Structure 1
């Protein structure tokens, strides 16, 4: 029989079943990026640049870029696209997202504002009805000669390929962290509050080289970097 003292401490501490499990932290994977390394030539300049990051928000990226003297704007467009108010129907009855409403609340900047845009893998996970309108808007808000970095999966990537949050470590290294469901709300620069991503993001499509070239047909130049992890990196100039 347990002593009163033992019973007291058992009650005070609680059983193992009463202790909440520690939150699971998504593991970060290291990845070398040739596209980022190439972009680094632009980032290493004497005058401050205006940078737009449209991937999942990364404090590491903000810290890294501001330490170089650059001004950073961040918009999580995948989270913004999960807003249920964007749901609409096309003329042929298919479900789509309202691109006009989306662009009325996001990417609201003057023409020619940005020197650099970090797209990461947004295009692969974005609803198809928003992809072309988003890149058309990005073309408008970039300065002539500005650079845009984007990642695209190759045909070897399976439909379950996870969507990552990218953290810049140094001039050529990234840390990748899987984006899971989240309930946190996000506020767009327009002031609109977007709900968090309510489900794991799924790969929507795989762009081949011709599709990518067509997506950036209004840009001045495009350069491809093929990596070993079923990802094609693209650096384009406005």
Structure 2
């Protein structure tokens, strides 16, 4: 039986750990061939473990030249591009807005906001050449509710939500769908690096009472990348254990 992404070629950024690894794993499981992109070097181990259907690329998503190269790698290695998952992200410093360092704001926004823009900027022409495709951006529930001490992260994730809606409106008539996933407390290296009192407070306030997993987010990404979601575009879909219902 064919997988839900059989025959599709996808680029997944931030694939070296956390949610990106979960997406890459679920995509390969569902029949996609995946370009696993990361800056850490960990993408090499992920690609090795997932086999010939996964190809590792080193890239800094805040740099246009790197983004163009990672997308070119999908075409040169697997022949085309059908899906882009703009997932790479960092948390940054924890400090209130009036104390937040300028250079840290630029660093966080460069990866989390500019990186998503660059991914879409250079993927969309390739998707159009291929007759269309899908883009799945990783935003956050921080695009919808505030987290004091994380102004750069919240601002960037809010930008991802609106970049998603704008591109979806621009390219719907040309067979490109664009959606964003908005994770809540998912157990990753990012959540592990945050002050324990901050993240543990979020988990305690989550109605389902636990962390989510990268695999659960990966399954949502599969749905949005597949033809099963063919009438969904421009949406920001929460996967937060009910946190934002309160």
The TM tier, using the shorter chain, reads 0.3 to 0.5
- TM-score calculated relative to the size of structure 1: 0.41
Q: Higher strand fraction: Structure 1 or Structure 2? A: 1
Larger RCO (alpha carbons 8 Å, 6+ apart):
1
Pair member with larger Rg? 1
